[in-house]
Amino acid sequence: MDDLKTLRQVVDGSRDARKNQSLALLPAGEKEALLKENHPDYKEDAYRTVTIGPNAGEKTVHEVADLLEGRSPVLDKTVDLKPDHTADVLIIGGGGAGCTAALTAVANGAKVILATKLRVGDSNTVMAEGGMQVAIQPEDSPIRHFLDTMRGGHLKNDRQLLRTLVEEGPQATKWLLDLGVLFDRDDSGENLRVRSGGATSTPRLVTCRDYTGLEIMRVLKDALINEDVQILEYAPAVELLTGADGACTGALLKNLDNDQFIVVAAKTVILATGGSGRLHIQGFPTSNHFGATGDALPLAYRLGARLRFMDTFQYHPTGVCHPEPMAGLLVTEGIRSAGAQLVNVKGDRFINEMDTRDVVAAAIIRECAQGRGVSTPSGRVGVWLDIPMVDSVNGEGTLEKRFPNMMKQFSRYDIDIRKEPVLIHPTLHYQNGGIEIGVDGETGIPNLFAAGEASGGVHGRNRLMGNSLLDIIVYGRRAGKAAALRANTVSLGGLSLAHLDRFYGKFGKTEGKDFVSPVLIPDYVRRQEAKVSNKS
C-alpha cells in the first residue's frame, strides 16, 4: 500500500486540470440507480420489520427496531411516582430545539423545567457547521425554499410542516438576531451574507463562519440561564408518565449522579432529545454528539405516538476518514460549496459535489466499493476532499477567513488544509424521520409535543443542509408556545406507568428481549464500524 503522502501527490497533480472542470448534476434516473446500488438506506439486510407498537409492520434499521421493541428500564419495577417537581411545561432535551422551546414557553407565561441528559448545549445543534437556510434575499422566496427542499426530500416531505418552516424562517432568524446571534454580514455590515448549500437553486444559508450551530447554541444557552427556568442536568428521561385518559402527565428522569429517579409532573411535555447517530446505524461512524442515542423515540412510541420515515437516515458525504481520532467528524458542506472537490485515488472527480447529500454520499461509497478509494493505515477507505482548491479558486486566505473551525480541527493533527487534501467518507449525520407531529409540534398523544430532530416529516427522505437549524428554531418556538397555551387549559394529571402494560401487554412483558431502551449512554466499546471494501 502506497503511503498517503505519495497518494496525495495524484490530487496535487490533477488540481490544475480540474480547476475549471464542470460536472453536470446526475439525471433523475441515474440518481435513483446510484442510490439503490450504494446508499445505506437501500441495504435490505440492514432492516427488519417492527413487531410491536404503532408502527408495527413497518421496516426500520435493526438499531432503531431494537430501541422501539426494547424493554423499559422500569418494566416490572415498582417506582414511587410521588412528584419531586411540578411544571406547566417539561422540556426534555437541552439542545437548540429544547432551549428555544423553553424560552418561548416562559415568554408565554409557563412555569418551565428543562431536563437534559448531559449539560445544556450538549447537542447536535453545535455540530451544524455550515449555516441555516432561510429565504431572505430579494431574489429568493419561501416558495423557492419550499421547492428546493421538496426536491431534496424526494418529494416526500410533509407539505404543511414544510410550508410552515419556510414561511416562518425570516421571523425565526429575526428572533435569533434579536437574541444576539452574530450571523456573518456583507462588506457593508448592514445585510446578512448568504452562502450556497447543496441542491439549492440560490444562495440561502446564513452563517457564522463554519461554527453556525455553535454560535446559535451559545446565544440560546445564555438567554436560557437568564430566564426563570429550572434546569436539571445529567437527568435523562427514562420513561414518560400517563394519566387515566392516556394523556402525557410528566416524566421519570434518572439522576446520573446517584442513579435515583426524579419524578416530574407536568401539564405538558416537549420531547427535544435530538437524533440518534450514536446508535452507529449500520456500523457507521457519526458526526453526532455523545448523547445522540434517539431517546425520545422509544419514550413516545411506548406511549402510543406514531413515528415517520424511520427507514431513512442521512449519511453526510464528508465525514473525516483520517486521521483516526477524528473519524466521523464533519467537514462542512460549506467547504464544497466554496469549491473543494471530491477526487478518487486516480485523481479524478466523480460527482458534482453540490448534488443532494444522499447522492454524493452514494457516489463516494461506490468509488470506495469499486476500488477507487484510498485506504488509511487503520483500515478505513475514503476519497480525497481537495480542500486546497478553495484557496486556489477564491484566493489565498479564503480558508483561513471562512473556515477557522476546520483549520483548527485538522491543525491539531498537523494537517494544514490550505495545502493538503483530506480523506473523507460518509458519516451518520441526521435522523431524517422521527415522531409524527403537527404544525404546533403536537404528537398523537394529548399534551405530548416534539420538536427538532426527534420529530419527523418536514425533511422527507433527505434533508437539505441548513434546514435542521431552521427546524429547531421554528418548531422549538411553535412547540414551546403551543405547550404553554395548552398548559393553561389542563390540570396536572395522575402519574402512572399504565402505558407499559398496554404496550407490552399482548406481547408478554419481556418477550425474551434483553435490550433496554432508551439507551442513554452509547455502547462503547463501539460496535465494529463499517469496513468498506476497496479492491485496489
Q: Which is nearer to ligand MEZ, 247 or 331 (CB)?
A: 331
Active site residue 316: yes
Report the residue number, 340 or 465, with the smaller CB distance to ligand MEZ: 465
For ligand MEZ, the closer of residues 334 and 452 by Cβ is 334
Place of cell 485538522: 410
For ligand MEZ, what does the binding mask look like between residues 82 and 121, x meaning CB under 6 A? ----------------------------------------
From candidates 40, 243, 334, 382, binder to ligand MEZ by CB under 6 A: 334
Distance CA 119, CA 512 (A): 34
Say how many C-beta atoms besides its own lie within 10 A of residue 240's C-beta: 28
Q: Is residue 333 part of the contact set for ligand MEZ (CB under 6 A)?
A: yes
| Peptide bond just before 331 cis, omega within 30 deg | no
Dig out the grid coordinates for 163 from the structure: 410550508
Residue 337 Cβ, how far from ligand MEZ at the closest point, in Å? 9
215 contacts ligand MEZ (rule: CB under 6 A):
no
62 is catalytic: no
Q: How far is it, in rounded angstroms, from Cα 112 to Cα 401?
A: 40
CB of 516 to ligand MEZ, least distance (A): 30
Closest to ligand MEZ by CB, 93 or 213:
213
455-456 and 307-308: which strand pairing? unpaired
Q: E-assigned strands of 416-523?
A: 422-431, 434-436, 448-450, 455-456
**Inter-residue contact 165 to 452 (CB < 8 Å):** no
Taken in order 514, 515, 521, 525, is the CA torsion positive or negative?
Answer: positive
Residue 332 engages ligand MEZ in binding (rule: CB under 6 A): yes
Q: Locate all alpha helices (DSSP H) within 180-309, ordered by sequence.
A: 212-225, 296-303
Distance of closest approach, residue 514 Cβ to ligand MEZ, in angstroms: 34
- How many chain residues interact with ligand MEZ (CB under 6 A)? 11
Q: Which residue is nearest to ligand MEZ (CB)?
A: 130
Among the listed residues 195, 336, 418, 486, the single catalytic one is 336
Over the window 116 to 145, marking each residue x when it contacts ligand MEZ by CB under 6 A and - when it does not, the resulting string is ------------xxxx--------------
Stretch that binds ligand MEZ, among 145-153, 249-257, 463-471, 475-483 (CB under 6 A): 463-471
Judged by CB, which is closer to ligand MEZ: 281, or 305?
Answer: 281
**Options 156-164, 305-313, 464-472, 479-487: segment touching ligand MEZ (CB under 6 A):** 464-472
In angstroms, the CA 409 to CA 127 distance is: 13
Helix (H, G, I), strand (E, B) or coil at 231: strand
8, 306, 316, 418: the catalytic one is: 316
Contact residue for ligand MEZ among 116, 392, 447, 468 (CB under 6 A): 468
Asked if residue 426 binds ligand MEZ (CB under 6 A), the reply is: no
Minimum separation from the CB atom of position 203 to ligand MEZ (A): 14
Tell me whether the omega of the peptide bond preceding residue 426 falls within 30 degrees of 0, making it cis. no
Restricted to residues 64-83, the positions that interact with ligand MEZ (CB under 6 A) are: none
Closest to 269 measured CA to CA, from 477, 483, 120: 483
Cβ-contact 122, 290 below 8 angstroms = yes
Could you give the CA distance from residue 295 to residue 256 in angstroms, rounded to a whole number? 15
Nearest approach, Cβ of 517 to ligand MEZ (angstroms)? 26
**Residue 296 identity (one-letter amino acid):** A
Q: Which residues of 257-267 are buried (b: 16+ CB within 10 A; e: fewer)?
A: eeeebbbbbbb
Helix (H, G, I), strand (E, B) or coil at 13: helix
The C-alpha cell 463554519 sits at 210
Shortest Å, Cβ 210 to ligand MEZ: 7
Angle between the N-to-C axes of helices 357-369 and 28-38, in degrees from 0 to 180, rounded to the nearest 10: 60
Query: Whole-number minimum distance, CB 204 to ligand MEZ, in Å?
Result: 12
d(C-alpha 481, C-alpha 89), whole Å = 10
How far apart are CB 469 and ligand MEZ at their closest, in Å?
Answer: 6
Nearer to ligand MEZ, 344 or 468 (CB): 468
Interface residue with ligand MEZ, options 90, 162, 342, 465 (CB under 6 A): 465
Pick the closer one to ligand MEZ by CB: 309 or 504: 309
User: Toward ligand MEZ, which CB reaches closer, 391 or 471?
Assistant: 471
What DSSP state is assigned to residue 518? S
Q: Which stretch binds ligand MEZ (CB under 6 A): 255-263, 274-282, 326-334, 520-528?
A: 326-334
Give which of 73, 36, 67, 30 is closest to 52, Cα–Cα. 67
164 vs 337, beta carbon nearer ligand MEZ: 337
Which residue type is seen at 404? P
C-beta separation of 152 from 460 below 8 A: yes
CA distance 437 to 448: 10
* Residue among 133 and 249 whose Cβ is closer to ligand MEZ: 133
Under DSSP, the state recorded for 75 is T
Question: Shortest gap between Cβ of 464 and ligand MEZ (angstroms)?
Answer: 8
* Cβ 465 to ligand MEZ shortest distance, Å: 4
φ/ψ of 450, rounded to 5, equals -145, 150
476 near ligand MEZ, rule: CB under 6 A: no
Active site residues: 316, 336
The binding site for ligand MEZ (CB under 6 A) comprises: 128-131, 330, 332-334, 465-466, 468
